[in-house]
Homo-oligomer: A and B are copies of this chain.
Amino acid sequence: MADCWRFVYPLEERSLKPVNIGLCGLGTVGGGTLTVLKRNLLDINAHAGKSVVLTHIGARRDNPAFDLSGIKVSRDVFAVADDPEVDILVELIGGTSVAKELVLRAVRSGKHVVTANKALIAEFGNELFAEAAKHNVVIAYEAAVAGGIPIIRAMREGLAANKIEWLAGIINGTGNFILTEMRDKGRAFEDVLKEAQELGYAEADPTFDVEGIDAAHKLVILASIAFGMPLQFDKVFTEGISTISTEDVAYAGELGYQVKHLGITRKRPNQGIELRVHPTLIPNSRLIANVDGVMNAVLVKGDAVGPTLYYGPGAGAEPTASAVVSDIVDVSRLVGAESGSSVPHLGFALDKLVDYPILPIEEVETAYYIRISALDRPGVLSKITQILSDAGISIEALIQKEPKEGQDHVPVILLTNRAIEKQIIAAIKKIEALDSINGKVVRIRVESLK
- A234 adjacent to chain B (CB < 8 Å): no
For window 266-292 of A, CB contacts with B under 8 Å fall at 287, 290-291
Q: Nearest B residue to A155 by beta-carbon distance?
A: B150
- A339 adjacent to chain B (CB < 8 Å): yes
The listed residue with most B CB atoms (<10 A of its CB), out of A341, A342, A343, is: A341
Hey, what's the 0/1 contact readout for A124-153 against B, CB within 8 Å counting as 1?
000001111110100000100001111001
8 smallest CB-CB distances across A and B, nearest first, come from A150-B158, A161-B325, A308-B312, A4-B350, A148-B305, A46-B352, A7-B136, A305-B322
Stretch of A174-182, A326-334, A435-443 at the chain-chain interface: A326-334
- In the complex the two chains form, is A305's CB within 8 Å of B312's CB? yes
- A187 adjacent to chain B (CB < 8 Å): no
Stretch of A35-43, A68-76, A405-413 at the chain-chain interface: A35-43
- A240 adjacent to chain B (CB < 8 Å): no
Inter-chain CA distance A49–B328, complex, in Å, is 23
For window 321-356 of A, CB contacts with B under 8 Å fall at 321-326, 328-330, 333-334, 337-345, 347-353
Q: List 11 A-B contacts (CB under 8 A).
A: A1-B350, A4-B130, A46-B348, A148-B302, A148-B305, A148-B306, A153-B153, A159-B326, A160-B325, A305-B323, A311-B311
- In the complex the two chains form, is A130's CB within 8 Å of B2's CB? yes
Q: Nearest B residue to A230 by beta-carbon distance?
A: B1
Inter-chain CA distance A304–B130, complex, in Å, is 32
- A263 adjacent to chain B (CB < 8 Å): no
- In the complex the two chains form, is A130's CB within 8 Å of B345's CB? no
Interface residues of A toward B: which range?
35 or more
Inter-chain CA distance A322–B308, complex, in Å, is 11
- In the complex the two chains form, is B287's CB within 8 Å of A305's CB? no
B residues in contact with A353, CB < 8 Å: 1
B residues in contact with A303, CB < 8 Å: 39-40, 318
Hey, what's the 0/1 contact readout for A156-196 against B, CB within 8 Å counting as 1?
01111111000000000000000000000000000000000
For residue A118, give the distance in angstroms from its CB to the closest CB of chain B.
17
Query: Pick the contact of A47 from B39, B132, B287, B348 — CB < 8 Å?
Result: B348
Inter-chain CA distance A89–B39, complex, in Å, is 40
Inter-chain CA distance A131–B347, complex, in Å, is 30
- In the complex the two chains form, is A312's CB within 8 Å of B307's CB? yes
- In the complex the two chains form, is B308's CB within 8 Å of A311's CB? yes
For residue A302, give the distance in angstroms from its CB to the closest CB of chain B.
6
- A426 adjacent to chain B (CB < 8 Å): no
Inter-chain CA distance A272–B343, complex, in Å, is 36
B residues in contact with A329, CB < 8 Å: 157, 160-161
- A66 adjacent to chain B (CB < 8 Å): no
- A58 adjacent to chain B (CB < 8 Å): no
For residue A116, give the distance in angstroms from its CB to the closest CB of chain B.
13
- A310 adjacent to chain B (CB < 8 Å): yes
- A228 adjacent to chain B (CB < 8 Å): yes
- A92 adjacent to chain B (CB < 8 Å): no
- A388 adjacent to chain B (CB < 8 Å): no
- In the complex the two chains form, is A161's CB within 8 Å of B36's CB? yes
- In the complex the two chains form, is A306's CB within 8 Å of B313's CB? yes
B residues in contact with A136, CB < 8 Å: 7
The listed residue with most B CB atoms (<10 A of its CB), out of A5, A6, A48, is: A5
Q: Nearest B residue to A353 by beta-carbon distance?
A: B1
- A319 adjacent to chain B (CB < 8 Å): yes
- A381 adjacent to chain B (CB < 8 Å): no
Known pairs A3-B350, A7-B340 / 13 extra A-B pairs, C-beta < 8 Å: A3-B351, A39-B303, A40-B162, A148-B306, A148-B308, A153-B157, A160-B329, A161-B326, A287-B291, A307-B313, A309-B310, A337-B341, A340-B340
Q: Nearest B residue to A35 by beta-carbon distance?
A: B304
